[in-house]
Every structure is written in C-alpha cells, then in structure tokens.
Structure 1
Amino acid sequence: MNSHDIITLTVNPALDKSTHFKGLVAEQKIRCSEPRFDAGGGGINVSKAISRLGGKSLAVFTSGGPMGKMLEELVTKETIEFKAIPIQTWTRESFVAVDENTNSQYRFGFTGGEITADEEKAVLEALSKSKAKFLVASGSLNEGLSSDFYQKVAEIAKASNSKLIVDTSGEALKKVLETGAYLIKPNVGELAKLIGVERLEMEEVNEAAKKIIAKGGAEIVVVSLGPQGAVLVTKDDYEYVPAPNVAKKSTVGAGDSMVGGMVWALSQNKSLKEVIRWGVACGSAATMNEGTQLFKFEDANRLFEWLKNK
C-alpha cells in the first residue's frame, strides 16, 4: 500500500438508506419516497468529510455481498481512494426515515456480520503496510471481533509512527488507552465511564480528560458536548467552543463530520484552536442536511468563520 497522509479504517461500514413518509401507523403499509443511498460507517464518513474540505485520504473498509459492492460504487462516486477488504458476510444496512407530518426522525441500525480470524488478519495486514501520518479508526466493531481489535490497530500505529485518532466507545476505547492514541473523541458520558465515575458536570470535564492524558492514554482529548459544543484538552491547554445555532434536520454523521474536520485541519498543520473550531463547524454543518448526506463545504466554512473569534 502506498504512503498516504490520512488513512481511515471502517471495519463495520454500512450502506445508508434514507427516505420520507407521512404518518407512522402500526399495522398499516407506510408508503415512502424514493430512497437515497449513501456510503456510511465511521471511517468512510470521515473520508467523505475530508474530501468535502478539499483533502485526500485512503479509506480502508470491509466489503461483502451485493451491499458491499454498492458501497464500493458509492465511495467511488465520492472520488475517494479506497481499499476494500473482502468478507464472506454481507455489508450491513442502516435506515433513516423522516415523518413529514411531525418532522420526527427514526433511525434503524443493524449489527455487522461476523468477521473471521483470516479477515481480521487481512485488515490488520493492510494497515501494517501503510505509512500514514494520521490513522483514523472509527465506528463500531463487528461480531467476531474482540474488544481489543482497536488496541491492535493502536499497536500498528505506534510501530509505524502514525498519529492515531480513535472514535469509538465502551471496552474497545478502554483497550486503546492501554496502548495510547494521539486523539480520542468521547462524549461526556463516555468520558465519565473511562475514568470510572457515574457522571460528569461541565466543570469537571477538563480534569477528567487530563487524567487520561496523564496516564498516557491520549495526547489530545476532544469531548463532544452535543448542543453545547465541544472542548479540546491537552496536558497544557483547554479550548471550549460553543456549537453554533443552526436549523437541525438530522444528526446522522455529525460526529464523523466533526472528526473529519479535525483530522483535515491537523493534516494542514493548523493550530489546535483552529482544529477544534473546524471540527465543531463541520459537525454542526452536517446537522443542517437531511438523512445521511453529511455537510456542504460552504456551510462548514461559514460556521468556521463565525467560530474563529468564539
């Protein structure tokens, strides 16, 4: 595999399908509009976000069955370079439906098919041959993968001197911290679990993040605060950025867009102050679009300009 500045990994991608309907009535046929299809899953969405900002990345993801082939076609249309690792089970689907009567959004996700030991080995071997400056591991894990899978990815990143960015949760994230990452992006609830407490108040977030940094779990901790914005914490710095007030249509892909904005900014050698603001701008811009479309560059750029002095 050739050298790339940014490589994203999606071990459990999804073919995203979105539609509209009018009125949800039990036991009645619900007529939906023509569906929209998008390539989805954490790392793929990050690559899409980077592409929208004018950057380039290599998207590494698993692909199986007819859904996998369609996923590959959609990534190709996004003009993103990719390496698909073939698997025996079909790539999963996710489904988003919006009730036009109430503007309520319904999201349905399915678990990924089981990954075999040989398929896991193929994924890890593909990464071990890479020489990325930034390696992004994002999203859930499939059946058949142990909770230390991303820790194995962290070990590969350390061996190749890649800066690892991880966006996952639960035991998989805890295991990563044992090896260490460059940047992690938990929300407040996930951060609380990482340090072994039930909940955290806003004023406790900085100290909690610094505990992870002090133990070598990560160099940068970005904590998503939902509608309140986000904070970026290092051993020396603390940056809080409020979320801009936008008309929200969908939260699908907002977190991935935030990661994509930050990774792109890091790859452009921007300051950490700019990095977190690009992240919040892209994440907020993604909520302005329906379904699984992520964000438009002009929206993200406008929001970044507004956030520059916040």
Structure 2
Amino acid sequence: MGPRIVTLTLNPAVDVACDAEAVRPVHKVRTFAETHDPGGGGVNVARVIRELGGDVLAVVLTGGVTGRFLEELLEEGGVPCHVVPIAGRTRIAMTVHDRSARQEYRFVPEGPVASAAELEAALAALAAEPGGWLVASGSLPRGAPVDFYATVARLAAERGQHVVLDTSGPALQAALGHGLALIKPSLGEFEALVGRKLPDAAAQDAAAMAVVRSGGAARVAVSLGGGGALLATPEGLWRRPALDVPARSTVGAGDSFLAAMTLALARGSDPADALAWGIAAGAAAVMQTGTAHPRRADVESLYQRACNV
C-alpha cells in the first residue's frame, strides 16, 4: 500500500457527464447516459490512488446540498475524506459529448467564495491528518489569496511532508521555492510559468531543469498531451511518449497521470519508473467515458507497455 497520501481540493465539483446526439444553440438539447462523479483536482487524484491500492485521504471543502452530494459520491466510491464545511454551495461541472460532431464540451463554473476562516480551517485539517505526501491540486477558490498554496506547501514541508502541487498561473508561480517535491503543469501552463514559448524538446528540457536547479521544485513533470510527458529531477531528465489507445474522453487524464506518478514515488520508485506509471494511468483514463477514473487492470497492463517504449 505504501505511505499515506493526503490530497487537498479547495474548489471541488460534482462532475456531470452525458452524451447528446448534437449540440445546437437555442434548441433544447436532450442528453442521455448521464453520470455523476466527485471531482476537482485533489479529489480526482485521491480516487485514482485508491483504485491503484494506495492509502489516501481527501481533504475537501464542501458546502450546500451539492456539497453533501459530493460527500455521498466520495463515500460510495470508498474514498476516505476529511470535510471542511463552507457556507457557499459546491459547484457542478458538466461535460457533454456531442456524438454527431465527435466533440467534447466542458462547462466549469467558478465555484463558491471561501472565507478566511474557512481557509484557516483547511490548514488546520491538513495539520491534523498525517501523511508522508500531500497533493494539492486544482484551482484556488474565490476569496483565497494568490499565495495560499505557497502557505500550504511551506507548512507541509515544515511537517516533513513531500508536497506535490498541480495548479497554474500566479498560484503556481507564488508557490515555487516553498519546499515543493513535484509540480505538474501542462506544456501551456509551463510556458506561462517560464514566460516564453518552448517550441521543441530541447527548450522544454532546459526550462524544466532550470526550475529544478533554481530550487523552485525538486521535480518538474510536464504533460505534453499527445507528445507524452517529461520529468526533470536533480538526478537527470526522462521523457516517455504517449501510448496509442482508443480515446473516449480526455477528462481527468492529467489528474490520473499525477496520481499514479505520486503513488509510485511514495512507494520508492525511481523517476523513470514513476513516469511510466504516470503515462500508463493517463492513457487508461483516456480510455474511459466521461469523468470515470481509470481501471487498475488497465493501468497495470499499460504500465508494461510504457516501460518498453
């Protein structure tokens, strides 16, 4: 099972996924094959870690009737959680698959405001839940200061935890140098972080290693979509290509990648092996419809492929 991993989701969502024959403006669009899943970056990571047999706890801010529904979904999925109640109502996000156009539409509300007292309660919850690794993932809620993840990282690092951060923009920039064990931006997010385009592998590799050498984060994983992913560490840099699998939905692929990589690192895997687990989980997630998490059997099978490409 390995060390316990705690995840933090400050702006979770109830994820609704459905199909439609065609999405057209003005017309009433009938949907079918509807599913409901607990969502938000840290929640998604926790679901995948549990599926892969890891010891995980999700710390999550929830509010209102939708927040209670989210808690029920986590309980149904067997994901242990520490709920931090908030006054606002948890958001509902929707993914609609247009069958005729073979397109996917994703509607993501901004979510509720979190008060200073509620954010302090989140910090207290993290301090009360021991774990060797902490994964903070997702957007900051309205009301949170831009350096809130920096505070989370600093306090967790002081407790001796390995801190993983998956966010973007100013929140990611502000957290650099505060004891981060791993960051996982997409290529676009990483280009925004370093302030320039990275048109080729050499530029991407150099930029990732520069963040590591400057002390911004001990490890930098950059997801490259169809190009796979890279992982920069003090020991060196590794790249692995994406796996060719039947794609149904890209929702949650990045979270699945991060979950499997973090679990592998927590269990003592070397960087190359951890990257292979991440690639496998991301590919397994793409094979699922809607917001369903990847299946363990698929991840384990694809891991063997990832090690040999």
TM-score normalized by structure 2? 0.96
The equivalent of 2:303 in structure 1 is 304
C-alpha separation in 2, matches of 1:165 and 1:146: 19
In the TM superposition, what is the alpha-carbon distance from 1:178 to its structure 2 partner?
3.2
**Superposed CA offset, 1:150-184 (max 9, x none):** 00101111110100000000000011103130000
| 1:18-97 equivalence runs, <5 A | 18-97=17-96
1:91-139: CA deviations, max 9, x gaps? 0010011112222111110001000011011001111223311000000
Q: Is the 8 A contact 2:45 2:258 kept in 1?
A: yes
Residue identity matched to 2:132: K
Partner of 1:206: 205
Deviates more, 1:166-175 or 1:294-303: 294-303
What secondary structure is seen at the aligned counterpart in 1 of 2:122? helix
Unaligned runs of 5+ in 1: none
Bigger mean CA deviation after superposition, 40-49 or 197-206: 197-206
Partner of 2:275: 276
Which stretch shows the higher mean deviation, 189-198 or 80-89? 189-198
Q: Distance in 2 between matches of 1:25 and 1:224?
A: 32
Q: CA contact under 8 A between 2:209 and 2:237: conserved in structure 1? A: no
| CA–CA separation in structure 1 for the residues paired with 2:217 and 2:180 | 5
The equivalent of 1:110 in structure 2 is: 109
In structure 2, the partner of 1:149 is 148
Measured after TM superposition, the shift of residue 34 of structure 1 is 4.8
The residue that corresponds to 1:140 in the other structure is: 139
Give the distance between the partners of 2:216 and 2:131, measured in 1 at CA. Answer: 20
Between the aligned partners of 2:241 and 2:198, the Cα distance in structure 1 is 21
Task: Please state how far the C-alpha of 1:280 moved relative to its aligned partner.
Answer: 0.7
C-alpha separation between the residues in 1 aligned to 2:105 and 2:190?
27
Aligned residues: 307
Residue aligning to 1:266? 265
Tell me if structure 2 keeps the 8 A contact 1:250–1:289: yes
Say if 1:287 and 1:294, in contact at 8 Å, map to a contact too: no
Q: Is the 8 A contact 2:94 2:106 kept in 1?
A: yes
| TM-fit CA distance, 1:27 | 1.6
Determine the C-alpha separation between the residues in 1 that align with 2:25 and 2:220: 44
1:181-221 per-position Cα deviation (integer Å, ceiling 9, x unaligned): 00001122222232232444221111111111111111111
CA–CA distance in 2 between the matches of 1:40 and 1:263? 18
Q: Give the match for residue 227 of structure 1.
A: 226
CA distance in 2, matches of 1:159, 1:179: 10
What do the CA deviations read for 1:227-286 (whole angstroms, capped 9, x no partner)? 110011112311110000111111100000001101111122122111000001001110
AA partner of residue 260 (structure 1):
A
The one-letter code matched in structure 2 to 1:24 is: V
In structure 2, C-alpha distance between the alignment counterparts of 1:25 and 1:179, rounded to whole Å = 47
For 1:41, the aligned partner's letter is G
Structure 2 CA distance for partners of 1:257 and 1:29, relative to 1, 3 Å: same
Worse-matched range after superposition: 260-269 or 147-156: 260-269
Closer/same/farther in 2, CA of residues 91 and 215 from structure 1, 3 Å limit: same
Q: 199-208 or 238-247: which moved more?
A: 199-208
Whole-angstrom CA distance in 2 between matches of 1:115 and 1:225: 32
Percent of aligned positions that are identical = 38
Equivalent in the alignment of 1:169: 168
One-letter code of the match for 1:141? L
CA contact (8 A) 1:262 1:276 kept: yes
SS at match of 1:246: coil
Taking the aligned partners of 2:125 and 2:308, their CA distance within structure 1 comes to: 41
Gaps spanning 5+ residues in structure 2: where?
A: none
Distance between the aligned counterparts of 2:18 and 2:191, measured in 1? 35
- Is contact 2:92-2:109 (8 Å) kept? yes
Distance of aligned partners of 1:242 and 1:198 in 2 relative to their CA distance in 1, 3 Å threshold? closer
Secondary structure of the structure 2 residue equivalent to 1:218: coil
- Whichever residue aligns with residue 296 of structure 2, its letter is F
Give the Cα–Cα distance (whole angstroms) in 1 for the partners of residues 20 and 192 of structure 2: 38
Q: Is the 8 A contact 2:49 2:56 kept in 1?
A: yes
